[in-house]
Amino acid sequence: MDFRRVCFLYITGFCLLFFSCESEKICEQSTVSKLNAGFYLVQDSIPEAASVDSFTVYGIGRADSLIYDQANSVSSFVLPLSHSVDTTGFVLTLGTETDTITFLYSRELHLLSMECGFATYYYIESVDNTSNVIDSVRVVNEKVTTGDDENIQIYL
C-alpha cells in the first residue's frame, strides 16, 4: 500500500475516534447505606413474614427525631447506622411494647463511582436486644450496603 493512502485511512479513522467525546455522567444508584430489617413470626416451626401496626422507631440519643412514627402494616423497615462510631442503637415501639436493638459493627468507606461518591459499608459483628415483644434477632446478611438485601430478621 502506498504511504499516502495509508495516511488517508488513518486520518479518517482518527476523526471518527475523536468525535466520540466523553460526556458528564450522573449518579444513577442509591448512595445511602441502610440496614434492611424484616418482621417474622414462627408458626408450626416455619418462619413467616409478619406485619406490625403502630410502629415507632428512633435512634438512641435521638428521641427528638422519629424514623418511623406510628406506622401501620410494617413488614420491613430500614435503619440508618452511624457513619462516625462503631455502634448504633434503636428504640422500637410495637403497639404498647418497647424494645431496644443495638448493633456493633465495623465500618469501611467504599467508592461507588466518581459520580456517586463514597458510601459507608458496615459489617455487623453482633446484635443486642431486649425481649419485651421481640423473641430474637437473626443476622442473615452481615454486610450493610446501599442495596436492598435483607440484613436482619426480627422474630416476634
Partner 1 sequence: MRIFRYTFSLFMFAWLTAGAQTDNLDNGGIRLGFDISRIAVPFLEEGRVEYDGSVDLRINKDLYPVIEIGWGDFETEGMNFLYRSTGFSLRTGIDKNYLKKDNVNNMGMFFAGVRYGVSFFKHESTDLKISDPYWGDFSGAIPMKNMNAHWLEFSTGIRAKIFNNIYLGWSLRGRLLLYKSDDLNMSPNYIPGFGKVNGRTNLGFRYSVFYQLPL
Nearer to partner 1, 46 or 85 (CB): 85
- Closest CB to partner 1 among residues 53, 115: 115
Task: Give the integer Cα–Cα distance in Å for 146 and 33.
Answer: 4
Among 74, 92, 104, which Cα is nearest to 130's?
92
Indicate which single residue of 23, 28, 109, 131 sits in contact with partner 1 (rule: CB under 8 A): 109
108 lines the binding site for partner 1 (CB under 8 A): yes
Q: What is the largest CA-CA distance in the chain?
A: 89
Length of the chain (residues): 156
Cβ nearer to partner 1, comparing 7 with 139: 7
Site for partner 1 in 54-83 (CB under 8 A): 59, 62, 65, 67, 80, 82-83
3-state DSSP of 135-148 = CEEEECCCEECCCC
Cβ neighbours of 33 (radius 10 Å):
21
Can you give the binding site for partner 1, defined by CB under 8 A? 3-4, 6-7, 10-11, 13-15, 17-19, 21, 27, 31, 59, 62, 65, 67, 80, 82-84, 88, 108-111, 114-120
